[in-house]
Homo-oligomer: A and B are copies of this chain.
């Protein structure tokens, strides 16, 4: 039952229908009014009205008109790519990556800057973000005025009683740093954290098109879960939901970098996978590979082929088994329709991890929940955090233009 803060008005409802229509157009790429009515369950009349409004507002365009064998000609609809640009930026500890899309969600270009995980000075990080953004604009020849919105993912972004803050180890930002960031960007800005960004990408461009409850699991240095329930992103009381990487796999187990023992991340985060290999085969050449990305790529190579390396293979199997057990916990609690895997460990190892993890998940998650869930590698390619932030920036743009209300999961 809804609380006062979530009260809905008739404006929200119009907005819900608009969002459904937009979602249908974005998902399909090209579609028709009839197909939208089928996809959304809205009446044909409502679809005609909403599409008319969206065309008037320059959000949607008729891309071509086809004469049918009977009746009126059919117009093909798509998003209007000319309405402007949106940018999504993934700020990680070791890099800043920015991706630009047009309003039809075509990827226009991207730019990256190297971060330095030992430089924790907020001013330096803010300037790093600003200069990657400037670089991307220059590279694509896009004027600042053409950018409708910028979405920036900051690790550890939370919502507290005193507003928004960024809380990562050794990297504490309060509102002053966020104001500084807003100033430096100088364009409409929305910020959120990587799990929320990742799941927004899945919601708009991946399995979220068809599933209403879904968990998207990010596998990289850290691991976490973006959660969608009843078509909405779960944020939690302090925007901290989804920290599944810091739930227990093993009481009193391996020490996690968060300080807790036995966290999921300590087993299936990249340093955890490295530790599994070292425990299995301390003298193995892979144990000497220090850079995380190199390690994962080499591990994947060694574990593949007709004659795979035994220790590499066993490391992958154990990791997949840990992953399946940890996913079973999520499925036990949330009972989602779909779990998708994303992140750079997934891109390197996903096809090797999924079969073992799926079997483990099905045998360990409670009966119906385990039987019902589908485990898949995400179809959203590339940097899904940057992509998701661009989606969130687009949502926010539509809200700010009065086309949607803030009831939808837009960010902070």
Residues of chain B with a CB closer than 8 A to A290's CB: none
Which of A4-12, A181-189, A343-351 is the contact stretch? Answer: A4-12
Contact A246 B13 (CB under 8 A): no
Distance, CA A372 to CA B159, complexed state (A): 10
A231 at the A/B interface (Cβ < 8 Å)? yes
A130 at the A/B interface (Cβ < 8 Å)? no
Contact A237 B225 (CB under 8 A): no
A101 at the A/B interface (Cβ < 8 Å)? no
A203 to chain B, nearest CB (A): 7
Residue among A3, A238, A326 with the highest chain B CB neighbour number at 10 A: A3
Contact B367 A167 (CB under 8 A): yes
Copies in the complex: 2
A134 at the A/B interface (Cβ < 8 Å)? no
Which of A138-146, A300-308, A332-340 is the contact stretch? Answer: A332-340
Residues of chain B with a CB closer than 8 A to A333's CB: 225, 227, 241-244, 247, 330, 333-334
The 8 Å CB contact of A240, one of B8, B258, B328, B335, is B335
Contact A334 B234 (CB under 8 A): yes
A260 to chain B, nearest CB (A): 5
User: A residues near B, CB below 8 A?
Assistant: 1-10, 13, 16-17, 19-20, 23, 39-42, 158-160, 167, 203, 212-213, 225, 227, 229-232, 234-244, 246-251, 253, 258, 260, 262, 322, 325-326, 328-330, 332-337, 364-369, 372-373, 408-409
Q: Which 5 A-B pairs have the closest CB atoms?
A: A236-B335, A4-B41, A247-B329, A241-B335, A243-B332
